[in-house]
Structures are given as structure tokens and as C-alpha cells.
Amino acid sequence: MSKVGQVERATQNRVVKLFSDTLGYTYLGNWEKRANNSNIEVDLLQANLQKRGYANDLISRAINELKRVADNQNDSLYDVNKAVYDLLRYGVKIKPEVGENTVTVHLIDWRNDPLKNNDFAIAEEVTVNGQYTKRPDIVLYINGIALGVLELKRSTVPVSEAIHQNLDNQHDRFIKPFFTTMQLVTAGNDTQGLRYGTTETSEKYFLTWKEDNPDYDLNIDAKDEKYLPESYCEVNGQVITHRLDCEIVRLLSKERLLDLIYNFILFDAGKKKVTRPNQYFGVKAAQARIRQREGGIIWHTQGSGKSLTMVYLSKWLREHDPNARVLVITDRTELDDQIESIYKGVSEGIYRTESGADLIDKLAKTTPLLMCSLIHKFPGQDEGDVHKFMVELTANLPRNFKAYGNFYVFVDECHRTQSGLLHRGMRALLPNALFMGFTGTPLLKVDKQKKTSIETFGTYIHNYNRTFA
């Protein structure tokens, strides 16, 4: 073996050991010479479903349905991958016999005891036959289903080459069918660390996972440039001081991998997307605040993916609160257009109100569950005339008006609209709602009329533009 090969082999050996010893993945072996490697390892999936108590007939039918969908060669990779994702996330619906209730076979246990009930494993040098045979370095399996792939390069070879290799593998002439189940596509080397995307993610959109390390200042001398925050992490008391390894730990640990796949993947009008770290941690911080029934502000920068942050959060709300209704407020027509387009692009039905009267009418009904509205559709737009505002607000409300459901209000560019009377008007319409502001302007009082204030929304939920820019 050449010195180049020895260097790459040493890196791969270390990463395999990291997965097995530190992250607790089962090592399935070197599959370079193993025949019939597949993105659905039927024996492994069958064993897991049996362990979780499904009847053999249901197991056979669920696996056959998964394979039927995943093996579709007529549709695009995007469409097939989306259909597979639906089966992974929501389960396979099976009707045992005529007249019997439908049974859902969950290919992955997302809720009961996911770290115990799911089988996490890796294999290396996985030879996959296609028009031209390819061999991904490391493949991640959950219950025998290939959900992640990792290509590694030596430190002197740019990580972009590993990204290109992943992209090439998804072409028709190579092993495109292997990627129909894939959720995370990753590439790395020892100097640049890890990059991640999903199926058909172009090179420029591969991301670096950045994460705050609360133990950094306590355990490492910050003056030592060898130990930068991104190259230091701690797992079960074990200190890891290698950038690539730390980023693998942060992105691909069992719990994080499940969370990313279940909560942070979207199919957006022909493009599959996975969360940026700023979106992920903004949403997680917001979830913690919501559980305490508190609002707050997410401070973002332009182009930071704020609209998709709203989508991730609203999807989570609707799954965790059966009475949740989400209202997204903007202050410009083009932003209202954008919100409607983004939600509909990810198959989230959102109703765009047509007028103030229409908004009030819909608030008092049980549906729609998702709405967007311009701020000027609330009665009263002249902040300088308190009396006029209150008279108009009262005049437009029906007798005994009450909004139906648990409302969560996302206010876009809240620094421009949510002080003074406009905010009072919203509170009058939705007195029990939980308000969350999104702004690119700081949490600071300028004068009595113009502010993004703690009094209005509460403290910062997450200041993700400073941490992850």
C-alpha cells in the first residue's frame, strides 16, 4: 500500500473506531467483497421489526412495500427519496385483512425508546453494483436501512473532492438507486473537518456543523491554538481534540441523527433540504421556551434561512400540541408572498388572509391551522392616534369574539412593527397567544416609540447569527 493509501486508511480506521467505540454503532465489517450489498439490508430490518414485536406477515408486507418504493427506477431520485422518507417518518400502512383496521409498521422507532429499539450500525468499503460499480467509504444504517454515507479523504486532498465523489455516485451511470433511502450525505478530511448535505445537494450548499461547546472554557486553555472550539468536544467524559472526529460526534451521534432526520429534513419544491446549524439550535431553543409557555426573539441575519426556521418550528408545534394554530405576521406584501410560497413549497398548507375582516373571521373558527397575514390587516394602523386605534379595533370585533385554539404567532421583522399600538391590537385579538419575534435588529430600546423590547416579546430565544455566521 502506498503512503497516500496508508494515510487515508489510518483516518478511516480512526473514524470507524469512533463510530463503534464512542458513538456505539455496531461494526458490520468491511463489505468490499461482500455480494449484493443493498441500501435495504432485509435480514437486519426483519430482525429489528421482529424484536419490536411485529407479526411476520406484517413485516414481510412492510419490507416489500419499502423495497417497491425504493426500487422505483422510473421517477427522479428526488421523488423516490421523498416517497421513501414518508415511509421512514410515518411508517408503512398495512391492512391485515378485509374489514380489519389499518396497522402502521414503523420502520424506525421515533418515539418509544429510539436509542434502545433501533439498531445503529456502520459498514465500510461498501461495494455497490451499478452501471459502474462504486464503493462508499462508510455507510450508516438504522435497522438495516442505509440512511447516511461518509466519504473520507487524506488531509492534503480538499474535502471538495469527497463531495464530488458523493455527487458522482448519485448519477444514473453509477449507483443512483443506492441513494433512494439516503438522508445525510457527508464528506470530510482531517484538516477541513466534516461537510454535510443530503441527496442531490450541490457542492456550494454543503455545510459545516457549528456548535457551541459549553465546556470549552472550563476544560481547555483558550490560549492554546491547537485546541479550537470546533476541534474539541467531550463524549461521556472522553475528551476528543480532533476537528473531524468532533464534527462527526456532533452531527452523527445516534440521538442527533434521529432528530435531524425526523424533524429537520424538508422537500422544498424539487429540492431536498436539511437544516443549517443556526436553524437547528434556534428551533431547539424556541422549543424549550415554548414548553415553559414563554415567547421571545430569534435574532437572525439576512439569508440565514429564517423562513424555514419558522417551518421547522410550526411543524413541531402541530405534532406536539393537538390544538396548535400558527399565525405568521409580516409587514410587507413581498414578505407575505414569500411566506406563503415557502410553506406551500414544503407541502404545508397555509391560508393567506385577504383582509382584516377575513383574518378575524378565520381566527374565530377551528381552521385553518396555518395562516399568514400582513400586519396592516389588523384594525388600527396609525400609531399616533391611540383613541382612533382603540375605537377602530372595538368596532371591527364581533360581540363575544374569541380566537379558537392555542395560537402561536411568529412575527417577521418584529423590530419594525411590534411596539406600541400595533402590538396592543394583536394582543387584544389574541390575548392568550404565545408570540415569537424574528428580527435582524438588536434586543435594544431606542426611544419610547421605536424598539424591539423585552417588554413586548421576552428575552432572546437564540441569537444565532452571531454564533453561527
Is the pLDDT score of 389 beyond 50? no
Residue 420 pLDDT: 54
For 138-179, write each residue's pLDDT tens digit: 999 999 999 999 999 999 999 999 999 999 999 999 999 999
Strand partners, 411: 329, 437
CA angle 226, 232, 236 (to 5 degrees): 145
Model confidence band, residue 214 (pLDDT cutoffs 50, 70, 90): low
Q: Where are the domains of the chain?
A: 3-263, 275-468
Q: Which residue has the cell 462508499?
A: 136
Is the pLDDT score of 444 beyond 70? no
In the chain, the percentage of residues whose pLDDT exceeds 70 is 79
Model confidence band, residue 303 (pLDDT cutoffs 50, 70, 90): low
In the chain, the percentage of residues whose pLDDT exceeds 90 is 57
CA 324 to CA 222: how far, in whole Å?
45
CATH code, 275-468: 3.40.50.300
Residue 34 pLDDT: 96
Residue 355 pLDDT: 76
Q: Which residue has the higher pLDDT, 87 or 5?
A: 87
Residue 391 pLDDT: 52
Residue 262 pLDDT: 96
Q: Which range scores top for mean pLDDT: 29-38, 373-382, 393-402?
A: 29-38
Model confidence band, residue 384 (pLDDT cutoffs 50, 70, 90): very low
**Which DSSP string corresponds to 15-51?**
HHHIIIIIS--EEEEE-SS-TT--SB-HHHHHHHHHH
CA 429 to CA 263: how far, in whole Å?
31
- CA 262 remoteness from chain centre: 7
Is the pLDDT score of 182 beyond 70? yes
Region 391-397: what's the mean pLDDT?
61
Q: And the C-alpha cell for 313?
A: 418550528
CA 22 to CA 120: how far, in whole Å?
13
Is the pLDDT score of 245 beyond 80? yes
Region 235-261: what's the mean pLDDT?
92
Peptide linkage before 368 cis (omega within 30 of 0): yes
Residue 36 pLDDT: 94
Residue 223 pLDDT: 44
Region 25-53: what's the mean pLDDT?
97
Model confidence band, residue 274 (pLDDT cutoffs 50, 70, 90): very high
For 76-127, write each residue's pLDDT tens digit: 999 999 999 999 999 999 987 777 889 999 999 999 999 999 999 999 999 9
Is the pLDDT score of 318 beyond 50? yes
Region 300-323: what's the mean pLDDT?
85
Q: Say how many CA atoms lie within 13 Å of 54 toward its Cβ.
A: 27
User: What angle do the packed helices 56-70 and 42-51 form, to 10 degrees?
Assistant: 140
Model confidence band, residue 468 (pLDDT cutoffs 50, 70, 90): very low
CA 262 to CA 280: how far, in whole Å?
12
Q: Which residue has the higher pLDDT, 448 or 318?
A: 318
Q: Which residue has the higher pLDDT, 454 or 48?
A: 48
Check: CB of residue 44 under 8 Å from CB of residue 143: yes
Q: And the C-alpha cell for 121?
A: 450500525
Check: CB of residue 216 under 8 Å from CB of residue 229: yes
Residue 400 pLDDT: 84
Strand partners, 435: 409
For 325-336, write each residue's pLDDT tens digit: 999 887 666 666
CA 206 to CA 196: how far, in whole Å?
5
Give the C-alpha distances (Å, rounded to integers) separating 243 from 71, 232, 355: 37, 7, 53
Sign, CA dihedral 260-261-264-270, equals positive
Residue 316 pLDDT: 93
Sign, CA dihedral 28-34-38-40, equals negative
Is the pLDDT score of 128 beyond 80? yes
Q: Which residue has the higher pLDDT, 213 or 343?
A: 343
Region 191-214: what's the mean pLDDT?
91
CB atoms within 10 A of CB 164: 14
Contacts with 116 (C-beta within 8 Å, 6 or more apart), sequence order: none
Q: Chain-wide mean pLDDT for the chain?
A: 84
What is the chain's alpha carbon radius of gyration, rounded to the nearest angstrom? 25
CB pairs under 8 A, 24+ apart, for 93-101? 94/58, 94/61, 94/62, 94/65, 96/57, 96/58
Is the pLDDT score of 134 beyond 60? yes
